[in-house]
């Protein structure tokens, strides 16, 4: 009996995940009301709207003895090498960053519709970014850390950076 209920639950989650991939307005409104933490995944394998900007994850630290913040430092992703065409593990980190930022944006929209102001900070995407940033090496004497998601648009001298999201201050333990 327990196995049958588990299979039924997993089948329901699978079916809801499949429907979540479709652009159905009523479904999106219903999911926004009952899933503000984005439990159901949404993947965009084939993007009808291609990316026009780069996303960067940056952080800054505040020392124990100082009230001043350090300069913003980018979270280092793996660099690509000459074997990128064959073996490119860095694409997973870039994809994860883009998925988490997109998930936070979707959660923000759903939170606005559902009037759930803390939904973004409680979303799995935001918590994933917090864990990622907190695991990044910084200054040993830091007591707190803040991160931001920055969108960079353009090329060469035309490049401009815009903060998309700035987190609250987190205490380093």
pTM of the model: 0.63
Query: With contact defined as beta carbons under 8 Å apart, do 103 and 125 qualify?
Result: yes
Write down the residue that tokens 């950076």 correspond to.
Answer: 161
Give 17-27 pLDDT, tens digit per residue.
Answer: 888 777 777 87
DSSP H helical segments within the chain, as ranges? 2-20, 25-34, 90-114, 119-122, 124-134
pLDDT tens string 103-158: 888 888 888 888 877 888 888 888 999 998 888 887 677 788 999 999 888 776 77
């Amino acid at each position: 009996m327990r196995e049958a209920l588990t299979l039924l639950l997993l089948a329901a989650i699978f079916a809801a995940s499949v429907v979540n991939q479709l652009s159905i307005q009523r479904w999106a409104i219903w999911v926004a009301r009952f899933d503000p933490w984005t439990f159901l995944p949404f993947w965009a394998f084939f993007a009808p709207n291609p990316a026009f900007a780069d996303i960067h994850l940056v952080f800054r630290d505040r020392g124990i003895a100082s009230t001043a913040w350090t300069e913003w430092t980018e979270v280092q992703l793996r660099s690509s090498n000459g074997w990128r065409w064959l073996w490119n593990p860095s694409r997973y980190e870039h994809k994860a960053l883009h998925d988490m930022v997109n998930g936070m944006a979707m959660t923000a929209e759903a939170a606005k519709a559902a009037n759930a102001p803390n939904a973004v900070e409680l979303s799995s995407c935001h918590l994933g970014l917090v864990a990622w940033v907190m695991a990044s090496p910084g200054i040993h004497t830091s007591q707190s850390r803040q991160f931001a998601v920055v969108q960079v648009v353009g090329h060469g001298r035309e490049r401009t950076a815009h903060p998309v999201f700035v987190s609250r201050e987190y205490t380093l333990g």
